[in-house]
Amino acid sequence: MTYVDGFVVAVPTANKETYRKYAKEAATVFKDHGALSLVECWGDDVPEGKINSMHTAVLRKPDETVVFSWITWPDKATRDAGMQKVFADPRMAAPMQAMPFDGTRMIFGGFEMIVNA
């Protein structure tokens, strides 16, 4: 069954192009290790909630934009093995050291797909 890793992060708005390049390079590595796809979405219409929102979840600062992304995998076993390979891949060493956002404020999780309409 298809497995999805989902992410929400705050990226400095000025780093949009840098982030796009970073994500495109990472996508190649993830796909080389079994991912079916990687999707990155730059926030355009992300309302701030009264109690909680994507903004508060990632502690977004005024000069940042919320980014929502996901990686699809054929199944959880492929994802588990692929993630280990991704983080061991030498192509990820430099990008992990120079992420164009604060990774400590990223929220993420793995999800079993139950509807794909």
**Span 81-96, pLDDT tens digits:** 999 999 999 998 776 6
* Mean of pLDDT values over 21-36: 96
* pLDDT on residue 95: 66
**Cα dihedral sign, 39-85-100-103:** positive
Give the residue from 83, 62, 70 showing the smallest Cα distance to 113. 70
State the average pLDDT for the chain: 94
* pLDDT on residue 81: 98
Is residue 82 within 8 Å of residue 35, measured between CB atoms? Answer: yes
* pLDDT on residue 22: 92
Exposed/middle/buried for residue 58 (C-beta within 10 Å: 0-12, 13-18, 19+): buried
* Mean of pLDDT values over 18-40: 96
Kindly report the pTM of this predicted structure: 0.92
Q: How many CB atoms lie within 10 A of CB 16?
A: 14
